[in-house]
Chain A
Amino acid sequence: DGGITQSPKYLFRKEGQNVTLSCEQNLNHDAMYWYRQDPGQGLRLIYYSQIVNDFQKGDIAEGYSVSREKKESFPLTVTSAQKNPTAFYLCASSSGGPYNEQFFGPGTRLTVL
């Protein structure tokens, strides 16, 4: 089955630790995205990548880093510099361009203790 997988579903980390969230897709999509969802807010774009080995900052990139070494994978690292890391993180992919719907993974809920 084609789709997007995110792991783990729930993640707990101590304050000050870096943590990496996994996102894999087998849809052969060029573009991949990371969003953050907080209560009462829409999905806010953290980083996106239109092609392998290239990525751009979204609206709230501070305290996050990404890599895109393979078309299928777009991991997100939440660094200790992110002041409020506890949130629900969503990864998405699309065929690319602004007129194609994005397909979302199931999300990872990160809780920093």
Chain B
Amino acid sequence: DQQVKQNSPSLSVQEGRISILNCDYTNSMFDYFLWYKKYPAEGPTFLISISSIKDKNEDGRFTVFLNKSAKHLSLHIVPSQPGDSAVYFCAASGHDMRFGAGTRLTVKP
């Protein structure tokens, strides 16, 4: 039973454009959400998070939006850079933490 879903396994964007990665969750008890970035053969690294009391959190080129009524969050990367190419995992936390399957982002020069 996947409580956190990333329905797009891959996304390709041009350098300089916006990347939008989406994540849906089913458990209304989740109240803290995180995005992790993962390069091949490495462990994920924390990127940005958002609490359920907010609907937006921004850190440089990265912004996470949370729509609690839709149980949906998204990560926006503007402008996208080739170094952003990686797998991005969405995670949701309440009693414990659950991860989505990941979206592979490719930023083309």
Contacts and interface: CB of A to CB of B under 8 A. Distances in A.
Instruction: Name the residue in A4, A6, A43, A44 with the highest tally of chain B Cβ atoms < 10 Å from its Cβ.
Output: A43
A98 B42 CA distance: 23
Sort chain A's interface into a size bin: 20 to 34
Interface in B2-24: 2, 4, 6, 9
Contacts, number: 54
Interface in B28-59: 32, 34, 36, 41-46, 49, 51
Interface stretch (A62-70, A72-80, A99-107): A99-107
B85 interface: no
A102 B99 CA distance: 12
Interface of A: 4, 6, 9, 35, 40-45, 48, 90-92, 98-99, 101-107, 109
21 contacts: A9-B41, A40-B9, A40-B101, A41-B101, A42-B4, A42-B6, A42-B98, A90-B44, A91-B43, A92-B43, A98-B32, A98-B93, A98-B94, A98-B95, A98-B96, A98-B97, A101-B46, A103-B46, A104-B36, A106-B43, A107-B41
